[in-house]
Amino acid sequence: MKYRNIVILTGAGISAESGLGTFRGSGGLWEDHRVEDVATPEAFQRDPGLVHRFYNARRRNLGKVKPNAAHIALARLQTGHPGSVILITQNVDDLHERAGSGTLLHMHGELLRARCRACADVFDWPEDMDDGTPCPSCAAMPALRPHIVWFGEMPFHMEEIDAALLETDLFISIGTSGSVYPAAGYVAQIHALGRAHSVELNLEPSEGQSLFAERRYGPATEVVPDYVEEILGGAA
Whether residue 142 is preceded by a cis peptide bond, meaning omega within 30 degrees of 0, is yes
What is the 3-state composition of the chain as percent helix, strand, coil, each rounded to the nearest 5? 35, 20, 45
- DSSP track, 186-225: HHHHHHHH--SEEEEEESS--TTGGG-SEEEES-HHHHHH
202 lies in the binding site for ligand APR (CB under 6 A) = yes
| Residue 20 near ligand APR by CB under 6 A | no
Of 6-14, 113-121, 125-133, 190-198, the window that binds ligand APR (rule: CB under 6 A) is 6-14
Distance between CA 60 and CA 126 in Å, rounded?
Answer: 8
Half-sphere exposure of 215 (CA within 13 A, CB side): 14
Is 148 strand, coil or helix? strand
Give the x/- contact pattern for ligand APR in 74-103, rule: CB under 6 A.
----------------x-------------
First to last CA, the chain: 10
Interface residue with ligand APR among 93, 176, 190, 212 (CB under 6 A) is 176
Active site residue 52: no
Is residue 225 a contact point for ligand APR (CB under 6 A)? Answer: no
Q: Is 17 in the site for ligand APR (CB under 6 A)?
A: yes
Q: How far is the CB of 22 from ligand APR (least distance, A)?
A: 3
Catalytic center residues: 108
Q: Footprint of ligand APR on this chain (CB under 6 A)? A: 11-13, 16-17, 22-24, 90, 108, 175-177, 179-180, 202-204, 206, 219-220
